[in-house]
Amino acid sequence: MPNQSQSTTPISGDHHIAVDGSLMHVRIGGGPADLPTVVLEAGGGSTLETWDLITQRLAPHLRVLSYERAGVGTSEGHGASCAEAAGRLSTLLDAAQIKKPVILAGHSLGGLYARYFAATRSRDIAGLVLIDSTPDDQPVPRALLWLLPPLSWGVYLAARSGLLRLFAGSNAEDVPQAMRTAQRKAKSRASHVRAVLAEIRGLRQTQQDAAAQVLPKTLPVLCISAGKRPRAKLAAAFMRNSHDRLAAAGLQPWSRHHCIAGATHASLLTHVKDAETVGKLILEFAGRISPGVPATVE
């Protein structure tokens, strides 16, 4: 279990930091640099190991903080609303003594949380990165809300019994072992399952909350999309239109929408080549929005 930090500030490594009476799992890497710290907001139910490949690309150049939202992974607490998540993240950054403003990057559902944070705490944000972020206007299938609870608890029982490990030997996208192991362990925790279900049940409200908060026109926005969406043309259209709109509304000429051909929603973080591209785009974005720093980082 990572170290627990109360009044002292972790410089690097894994820690559990007290936030509003609950311990939140945090990983801090890299070191001081001319570039802003990058804070990583994971997708629904994803542990911080999801960011390992991205962090490896970013850490040599700047400071990186990834964490698990309330109840997810080994973080404690509960509450899945945008306001609750933003309040905890703000407290967490202060507790970790992270220099602001930061670049906030969110993947999937984490993109909606990142948008809300950036809109409501604009002074703390130097730039926003949305990695295949969930659109705020994409319909939430009712079947998902009905089927997810029994499926999630079924996976939980399989993980607790060890059966899940038997079926996790192969993966088409070659997910690193550390990511698979972390997710499997998380799925064996009842608190994690409850947290994931709470985020999914609240997804429509999260979309509405993110949409209701207008991002400042002075904020640079980088949108990164997956180019491969088999059998999901409608979802692809929602994603493309959402990212085009958000990038166009960001501060110009620093804002843009970049689509990675051949990448999938998951492979943007889990496939070495795709994650390398995402990391490079984030570094170049950080350089462009930071005065006096070269725009391209090798």
Q: pLDDT tens-digit profile of 102-119? A: 999 999 999 999 999 999
Lowest mean pLDDT among 126-140, 171-185, 253-267: 171-185
CATH code, 3-288:
3.40.50.1820
Give the Cα separation of 46 and 171 in Å (integer): 17
Q: Which range, 7-16, 126-135, 159-168, has the best average confidence (pLDDT)?
A: 126-135
- Better pLDDT: 250 or 291: 250
pLDDT tens for each residue of 20-54: 999 999 999 998 778 999 999 999 999 999 999 99
- Better pLDDT: 286 or 160: 286
Give the Cα separation of 82 and 171 in Å (integer): 32
What strand order describes the sheet that includes 102-107?
3-5, 13-19, 22-29, 64-67, 38-41, 102-107, 125-131, 221-226, 256-260
Give the Cα separation of 229 and 221 in Å (integer): 23
What integer best gives the mean pLDDT of the chain? 88
Indicate the domain borders of the chain.
3-288
Note the pLDDT of residue 156. 76
Q: Is 118 helix (H, G, I), strand (E, B) or coil?
A: helix
Angle at 84 between CA 143 and CA 286, to 5 degrees: 95
CA proximity to 289, closest of 32, 28, 27, 38: 38
pLDDT band at 138 (very low <50, low <70, confident <90, very high): confident
Lowest mean pLDDT among 52-56, 94-98, 195-199, 233-237: 233-237
pTM assigned to the model? 0.91
Mean pLDDT of 78-91: 97
Residues with Cβ within 8 Å of 34's Cβ and at least 6 positions away in sequence, in order, are 290, 292, 293
Give the Cα separation of 217 and 109 in Å (integer): 23
Note the pLDDT of residue 32. 76
70: Cα within 13 Å, side-chain hemisphere = 23
Give the Cα separation of 290 and 288 in Å (integer): 6
Exposed/middle/buried for 217, CB within 10 Å: 0-12, 13-18, 19+? exposed
Lowest mean pLDDT among 133-147, 162-176, 241-255: 162-176
- Better pLDDT: 171 or 68: 68
Note the pLDDT of residue 173. 52
